[in-house]
Structure 1
Amino acid sequence: MSQIFQPGFALYVKLALFAALLVIVGACLAWRGVATDPHRIDEAVNQPVPFSHKHHVDDVGLDCRFCHANVETSAFAGMPPISTCMTCHSQLFTDTAVLKPLVDSWQRGVALHWNRVYQLPDFVYFNHSIHIAKGVGCVSCHGRIDQMPLTRRVASLSMSWCLDCHRAPQKFLRPREEVFDLAWQPKDQDRLGPELVRAYRIDTGRMTDCSLCHR
Structure 2
Amino acid sequence: MPQVFPRSANGVSRFVLWAAGLLLLAGVVVAVAVPRSAFDNGIGQPIAQPVPFSHKHHVGQLGIDCRYCHNGVETSSSAGLPATEVCMTCHSQLFTNAAMLAPVRDSLASGEPLHWKRVNSVPDFVYFNHAIHVNKGIGCETCHGDVDDMPLTERAHSLTMGWCLNCHRDPEPNLRPPGDVFKMHWKSPKDIEQIRRSLISILDIHPENMTDCYVCHR
Q: Deviations over 1:156-183 (max 9, x none)?
A: 0101000111011100000010000012
List aligned pairs for 1:122-133, cutoff 5 A: 122-133=124-135
Structure 2 length as normaliser, TM-score?
Answer: 0.79
1:201 and 2:198 aligned: no
Q: Deviations over 1:175-195 (max 9, x none)?
A: 010000012121344322212
1:171 and 2:173 aligned: yes
The percentage of aligned residue pairs carrying the same residue is 52
Cα separation, 2, equivalents of 1:92 and 1:48: 19
- Flag the structure with larger Rg: 2
What is the aligned partner in structure 1 of residue 147 from structure 2? Answer: 145
Q: Deviations over 1:74-96 (max 9, x none)?
A: 00000111001000001111111
**Where do 5+ consecutive residues of structure 1 fail to align?**
1-28
CA contact (8 A) 1:38 1:118 kept: no
Q: How many residues align?
A: 181
Cα separation, 2, equivalents of 1:40 and 1:203: 31
What is the aligned partner in structure 2 of residue 5 from structure 1? Answer: none
Cα separation, 1, equivalents of 2:208 and 2:186: 28
Q: SS at the partner of 1:87?
A: helix
Cα separation, 2, equivalents of 1:48 and 1:79: 13
CA contact (8 A) 1:173 1:196 kept: yes
The letter of the residue matching 1:204 is: P
**Where do 5+ consecutive residues of structure 2 fail to align?**
1-30
Cα separation, 2, equivalents of 1:61 and 1:186: 20
CA RMSD of aligned residues (A): 1.6
C-alpha spacing 1:89/1:38, structure 2 compared with 1 (3 Å): farther
